[in-house]
């Protein structure tokens, strides 16, 4: 009997211990679960979207989170220990008071009453100014405004069958015609240098017109190129003519009365636009894209490299290490030309219309976009071009020139359009 009583007592103690062990184990598991609650998954789907003096940060909801912290900096590599904290926020969060043109970097963490989880992947955005272009003035030329060049108080318009139009823009709200010259061909381009304006005149080649008196333009010389003169760029004693099917023509203009051909390079496509910088001529060669030609010896221009853009290269502007190509249906193409022998596409913006011409000033590329008018693209980061403003002109924007606070647009049958609010 004593042995039986002892056995029952032992079994009772074992059972009690087992019960306590199970209960204690449950408590530790709960404690462990509480600890795991602090190990949130990092927020996913984090996006930083740039605005005007602000960045909007958004992310996916984390289960059991009651709020979120944002950590930010103007340098990459943000961590919670060194980033500037914005606490107790929800998605999306608008970070206001930022400086346009400055990159901002962000990480996000999830928080509840137990603690803070790990940080998300870093994202960044650069606030940009949103522009509101407005029409300031117009002048309806008698022909079809193809290209434009602004010098001083005058806008010089290549006006198709109506030749050269000289328009006073001293009051941008009321532009007025002061002179004209009816060229024999079809004026498609224009460039002003000194007292002369150089007009590619289609089948009539290059015309040189004296504008020392803007009210009475007078032709002083011409050179009948072998192709169809469409665009020109003047440097020193030479005029570089994009001559469509005849490629690049280099004409000595040291004596404006007797211009002479000194060299040529027959590009594979149709040379529609040309820009000269340093020892190179950059030719927008339609379906053959961008052609870079060494002109250090004008008598023997040689091809250095080419880049076959996706569309039809219609115009080109060079600024710094980049060539900005108006590429027809594929919009603006930005090509790294820091090594002219090895060209690389670094960015693009596919405009809604057909990019016919481009002008670069500051952080912006101004694109004459055919039926959709003027498009203004922020190119501060060439790899991420952003549309920041547009103005839908009445006609078809074919050329653009920026001077001061205005964009001057050659708008086809609607003549000259002067647009403000562009910077």
pLDDT digits (tens, 9 = 90+) for 163-189: 999 999 999 999 999 999 999 999 999
Instruction: Tell me the CB-side half-sphere exposure of residue 301, using CA atoms within 13 A.
Output: 28
Provide the residue ranges of all domains of the chain, joining segments of one domain with +: 1-37, 47-125, 134-420
CATH number of 47-125: 2.60.40.10
pLDDT given for residue 101 in this prediction: 86
pLDDT at 9 (0 to 100): 37
- 210's tokens: 């004296």
Cβ-based neighbour number of residue 100 at 10 Å: 17
| Cα torsion angle, 413, 415, 420, 423, sign | positive
Which candidate, 236, 158, 162, places its Cα nearest to that of 198?
Answer: 158
Q: CB under 8 Å to 346, separation ≥6 — which residues?
A: 322, 334, 335, 336, 382, 383
Do residues 295 and 281 make contact, with C-beta atoms less than 8 angstroms apart?
yes
**pLDDT (0 to 100) of residue 39:** 58
Residues of the chain with pLDDT under 50: 1-37
Residue for token digits 């460039």? 191
Q: Domain spanning 134-420 has what CATH number?
A: 2.130.10.10
Token reading at 254: 């040291």
Q: What is the pTM of this model?
A: 0.81
pLDDT for 128 equals 87
The model's pLDDT over 248-282, given as tens digits with 9 standing for 90+, comes to 999 999 999 999 999 999 999 999 999 999 999 99
């Amino acid at each position: 009997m004593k042995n039986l009583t002892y056995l029952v007592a032992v079994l009772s103690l074992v059972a009690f211990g087992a019960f306590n062990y199970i209960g204690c184990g449950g408590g530790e598991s709960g404690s462990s679960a509480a600890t795991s609650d602090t190990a949130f998954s990092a927020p996913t789907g984090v996006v930083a979207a740039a605005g005007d003096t602000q960045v909007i940060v958004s992310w996916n909801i984390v289960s059991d989170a009651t709020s979120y912290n944002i950590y930010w900096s103007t340098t990459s590599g943000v961590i919670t220990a060194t980033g500037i904290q914005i606490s107790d926020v929800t998605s999306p969060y608008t970070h206001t008071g930022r400086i346009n043109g400055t990159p901002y970097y962000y990480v996000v963490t999830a928080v509840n009453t137990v603690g803070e989880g790990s940080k998300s992947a870093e994202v960044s955005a650069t606030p940009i100014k949103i522009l509101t272009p407005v029409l300031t003035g117009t002048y309806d030329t008698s022909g079809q405004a193809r290209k434009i060049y602004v010098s001083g108080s005058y806008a010089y318009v290549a006006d198709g069958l109506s030749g050269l139009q000289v328009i006073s823009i001293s009051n941008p709200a009321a532009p007025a015609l002061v002179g004209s010259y009816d060229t024999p061909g079809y004026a498609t381009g224009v460039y002003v240098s000194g007292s002369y304006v150089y007009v590619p005149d289609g089948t009539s080649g290059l015309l040189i017109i004296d504008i020392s008196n803007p009210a009475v333009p007078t032709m002083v010389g011409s050179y009948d190129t072998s192709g169809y003169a469409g665009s020109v760029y003047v440097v020193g004693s030479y005029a570089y003519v994009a001559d469509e099917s005849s490629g690049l023509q280099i004409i000595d203009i040291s004596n404006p009365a007797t211009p002479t051909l000194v060299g040529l390079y027959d590009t594979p496509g149709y040379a529609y636009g040309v820009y000269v910088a340093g020892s190179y001529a950059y030719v927008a060669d339609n379906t053959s894209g961008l052609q870079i030609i060494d002109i250090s010896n004008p008598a023997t221009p040689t091809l250095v490299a080419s880049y076959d853009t996706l569309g039809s290269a219609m115009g080109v502007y060079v600024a710094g290490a980049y060539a900005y190509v108006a590429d027809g249906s594929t919009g603006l193409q930005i090509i790294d030309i820091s090594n002219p022998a090895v060209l690389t596409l670094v960015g693009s913006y596919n405009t809604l219309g057909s990019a016919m011409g481009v002008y670069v000033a500051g952080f912006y590329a101004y694109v004459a976009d055919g039926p959709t008018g003027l498009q203004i693209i922020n190119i501060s980061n060439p790899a991420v071009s952003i549309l920041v403003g547009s103005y839908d002109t009445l006609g078809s924007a074919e050329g653009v020139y920026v001077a001061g606070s205005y964009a001057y647009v050659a708008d086809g049958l609607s003549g000259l359009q002067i647009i403000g609010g562009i910077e």
